[in-house]
Amino acid sequence: MLVSSRLRFLSPHISFPFLSLRNHTPSRLSFSVAASAMETSSPSALFLCGKSSAETEIAKSLKINNALRLPNGGEVSTHLRSEISNFRFGEEAFNVDLFLNSLSTNRFGRNLIWSPRLPSTHDVVSHNFCELPIGAACVADVQFKGRGRSKNAWESPRGCLMFSFTLEMEDGKIVPLVQYVVSLAVTEAIKDICDREGFPCLDVRIKWPNDLYLNGLKVGGILCTSTYKSKKFNVSSGIGLNVDNEKPTTCLNAVLKEQSSTSNKFRREDIMAAFFNKFEMLYDIFLNQGFQTLEELYYRTWLHSGQRVIVQEKNEDRIVENVVTIQGLTSSGYLLAIGDDYQMCELHPDGNSFDFFKGLVRRKLE
């Protein structure tokens, strides 16, 4: 019998969890820079790009119709890919041409919005979902008002890869599982680049439900949100990955430097293109064959198979502890565990504080 004290059902508006270093470090560090230093009265510049001529026409239409908006009345100025050369950006700016030339998808990432500075890439795609083609992506060099699980902030300076993209799904039962496909595509993309470029293998792992870890330190995470409209789920998926900024924990290039005597480095454009190339393949498998087809690969990538944890819950004035062993995922995407009494239980991310490295799952107290 499966026991869960907090069964949750899919609602017309669902928000899936993200990562926040603030949950794990007493000093409340995050990938952040002072918002006041970046937030000016100037509008956010959005460069609209397409891989093919058809997608370039879509970009032109968005610009002509002034179709894109920011939440809360934030100002934007829209430009086309051909206009990028009219501006002076540093060498660290995202290279749109490099990304699009490395992209081999049929749908995802082919319509691209790039901005040197944005409050949130996720807000751009979610707020303009109906204006954008499915699979459209937004990437920013600097993000200063990102958001995560339980209203946590994800504020990122240069050196972080931050992008969001759109999905449309019909089966609400599998919507919660899409964050696991996204996580898996990130880890597989990094492996693919290591193999292709001859880099030492960086073993980026998934910490359930949506964090990315390298050598025991957090390097990124996933945010998926969904709204229900016209009998379909409009899903906005966001990825944050610390590629070339060592603070506050570590980054891919710092670990690569430790393991390689060459000056090779990961590039954000390569990772993002490799992600979409992998994601499109995994997503098709997910839709056509179900997540169970990907479970073996997912379990090889996550950190928790067979892990024993203590589940703490408050029962009136007492703290009750139960030891459980993680078995995998339930069909709904929650954590499946078995107690020493052989009773199965289901653990949910919302309302719990997970410290897997201390073997502890603690009920959050109001």
Please tell me the pTM assigned to this model: 0.85
- The Cα 137–Cα 133 span in angstroms is 9
List, as one string, the DSSP characters of 128-164: TGGGSPTT-EEEES-EEEEE-GGG-EEEE-TTEEEEE
pLDDT recorded at residue 316 = 82
Q: Please report the sign of the dihedral spanned by the C-alpha atoms of residue 359, residue 218, residue 328, residue 162.
A: positive
User: Cβ(224)–Cβ(238) under 8 Å?
Assistant: yes
Secondary structure (3-state) at 182:
helix
Q: List all residues 6 or more positions away from 309 whose beta carbon is below 8 Å from its beta carbon.
A: 323, 324, 325, 326, 337, 356, 359, 360, 361
pLDDT recorded at residue 151 = 52
Per-block average pLDDT, block size 10, for the chain (366 residues)? 32 28 30 36 89 98 96 92 93 95 98 95 96 98 67 64 97 96 98 96 94 94 94 97 88 94 92 98 98 97 92 82 91 90 82 59 46
pLDDT recorded at residue 38 = 37
